[in-house]
């Protein structure tokens, strides 16, 4: 056995907890062979093993599984975890249009609403249950995994142990399964992966990242672990740092930028909006259609266009005051007041004000469609047609 293969063999045996006598003996022999080869003055051993789909957790019982290949014309078979949140249902819709309804499976731990359940495949999956996740991937011959399950910034601060479990332990399960089965893996990161010591206006892709929330810490961890698995095991890991995402037909999941969605609903429903951030809090934001398109685009980008594995993407950047002014062009009677939530404000004050996404624009052609005026118009078109807005107009 070549030294590199011996190292890999020992590593896999140890991580997979193999204790069958025969493998123990093989492992001993391999160790001895390694000592001999190291003592022979050969080249130093390398540990980077690219393009081999070994999981550090699991030795597959079916060695030929990894040689299953998909022709160029095959559609990917996609699993979306945490798919019932703000972004998953929309992404499933986009991907199903592209790859066919049955090729995109939504999963979550919550019960899907009827329209989601009847719109395409849905499956229960708790990302903390490694075996269940593996079963789903194997039985459905999944080739792309979009990992959306997470506790977002504000809810994460309210339950740190759960956020740590879902965002960090859950990610480990996802990484191992993706590496084991040769999946292309997308994990979103966030503006929250930066902190008060990062340059904030603008924030480049590569700079100091010392976030002060469990959410941010877990996302930096995800970025680094994904990139590590890419270099170490050849995992096709792809990651975008999303800004705050604004959507009309899905509710935000407890993030610091939620106000920018809530304002539309409250403006239309009651004509009043109480903002939980200071009026001058500037944060990067994006309309959901841009976010979902960016996600599909990076997943489809040829490997050689990606000079990095984690990219900032940006569209616009505004304060609550600027957003309210734009909203008042449609609803001039809107009353806005401010009751600052200190937890959210502290988080927002540590986040980027503006995102530098030059690398995404250069490498794989990222380009946003929605600026603030188009965003506001689109939101009102979507949710406002039969309500106060229609009456005003």
Ligand X SMILES: NC(=O)c1ccc[n+]([C@@H]2O[C@H](COP(=O)([O-])OP(=O)(O)OC[C@H]3O[C@@H](n4cnc5c(N)ncnc54)[C@H](O)[C@@H]3O)[C@@H](O)[C@H]2O)c1
- Which residue ranges make up the site for ligand X (CB under 6 A)? 81-82, 84-88, 108-110, 126-128, 148-150, 152, 166, 170, 188, 190, 242, 244-245, 252-253, 255, 257
Can you give the C-alpha Rg of the chain in angstroms?
23
Question: Least distance in Å: CB of 373 to ligand X?
Answer: 20
Q: Which residue has the tokens 């403006």?
A: 267
Q: Which two tokens stand for residue 345?
A: 């404000």
Question: Residue 336: which residues within 8 A CB-CB, separation 6 or more?
Answer: 263, 272, 273, 274, 275, 320, 324
Question: Least distance in Å: CB of 26 to ligand X?
Answer: 37
**What is the CB-side half-sphere exposure of residue 172 using CA atoms within 13 A?**
10
Question: Least distance in Å: CB of 327 to ligand X?
Answer: 19
Maximum C-alpha span of the chain: 85
**In degrees rounded to 5, what are phi and psi of residue 60?**
-70, 145
Query: Is 215 annotated in the active site?
Result: yes
Question: Least distance in Å: CB of 191 to ligand X?
Answer: 7
Q: Residue 263: helix, strand or coil by DSSP? A: helix
Q: Which residue is nearest to ligand X (CB)?
A: 85
DSSP state of 61: S
Q: Which two tokens stand for residue 356?
A: 């530098």
Question: Least distance in Å: CB of 187 to ligand X?
Answer: 7
Question: Least distance in Å: CB of 380 to ligand X?
Answer: 20
Per the residue annotation, which of 124, 130, 148, 215 is the catalytic one?
215
Complex with ligand X: residue 109 or 389, whichever CB lies closer: 109
Complex with ligand X: residue 150 or 220, whichever CB lies closer: 150
CB 48 within 8 A of CB 232: yes
CA atoms 316, 317, 320, 323: torsion sign? negative
CA angle 187/57/149 to nearest 5° reads 25
Of 13, 52, 9, 76, the C-alpha closest to 231 is 52
**In degrees rounded to 5, what are phi and psi of residue 197?**
-95, 0
- Residue 124 CA to residue 128 CA, distance in Å, equals 12
Question: Least distance in Å: CB of 107 to ligand X?
Answer: 7
Per DSSP, the residues of 9-60 read HHHHHHHTT---HHHHHHHHHHHHHHHHHHTTT-PPPP---TT----SS---
- Residue 150 CA to residue 226 CA, distance in Å, equals 16
Question: Least distance in Å: CB of 106 to ligand X?
Answer: 10
Complex with ligand X: residue 27 or 213, whichever CB lies closer: 213
Residues recorded for the chain: 393
Complex with ligand X: residue 152 or 315, whichever CB lies closer: 152
CA atoms 257, 93, 267, 201: torsion sign? positive
Catalytic residues: 215
């Amino acid at each position: 056995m070549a030294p590199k293969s011996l190292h890999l063999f020992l590593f896999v045996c140890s991580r997979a907890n193999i204790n069958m006598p025969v493998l123990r003996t093989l492992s001993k022999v391999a160790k001895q062979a390694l000592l001999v080869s190291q003592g022979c003055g050969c080249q130093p051993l390398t540990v980077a093993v690219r393009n081999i789909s070994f999981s550090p957790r699991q030795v597959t019982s079916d060695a030929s599984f990894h040689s299953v290949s998909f022709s160029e014309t095959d559609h990917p078979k996609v699993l979306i975890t945490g798919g019932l949140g703000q972004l998953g249902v929309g992404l499933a819709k986009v991907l199903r249009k592209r790859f066919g309804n049955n090729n995109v499976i939504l999963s979550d731990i919550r019960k899907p609403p009827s329209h989601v359940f009847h719109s395409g495949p849905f499956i229960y999956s708790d990302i903390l249950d490694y075996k269940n996740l593996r079963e789903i991937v194997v039985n459905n011959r999944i080739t792309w995994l979009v990992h959306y399950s997470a506790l977002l910034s504000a809810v994460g601060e309210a339950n740190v142990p759960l956020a740590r479990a879902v965002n960090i332990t859950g990610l480990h399960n996802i990484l191992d399964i993706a590496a084991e089965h040769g999946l292309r893996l997308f994990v979103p990161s966030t503006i929250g992966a930066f902190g008060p010591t990062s340059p904030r206006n603008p924030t480049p892709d590569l700079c100091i990242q010392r976030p002060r929330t469990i959410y941010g810490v877990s996302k930096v961890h995800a970025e680094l672990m994904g990139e590590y698995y890419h270099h170490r095991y050849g995992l096709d890991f792809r990651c975008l740092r999303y800004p705050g995402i604004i959507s009309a037909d899905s509710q935000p999941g407890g993030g610091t930028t939620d106000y920018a969605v809530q304002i539309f609903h409250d403006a239309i429903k009651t004509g009043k909006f109480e903002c939980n951030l200071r009026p001058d809090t500037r944060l990067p934001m994006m309309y959901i259609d841009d976010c979902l398109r960016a996600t599909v685009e990076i997943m489809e980008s040829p490997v050689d266009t990606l000079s990095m594995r984690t990219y900032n993407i940006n569209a616009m950047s505004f304060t609550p005051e600027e957003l309210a002014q734009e909203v008042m062009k449609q609803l001039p009677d809107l009353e806005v007041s401010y009751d600052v939530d200190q937890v959210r404000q502290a988080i927002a004050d540590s986040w980027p004000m503006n995102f530098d996404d030059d690398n995404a624009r250069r490498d794989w052609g990222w380009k946003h469609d929605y600026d603030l005026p188009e965003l506001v118009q689109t939101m009102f078109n979507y949710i406002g047609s039969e309500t106060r807005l229609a009456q005003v107009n």
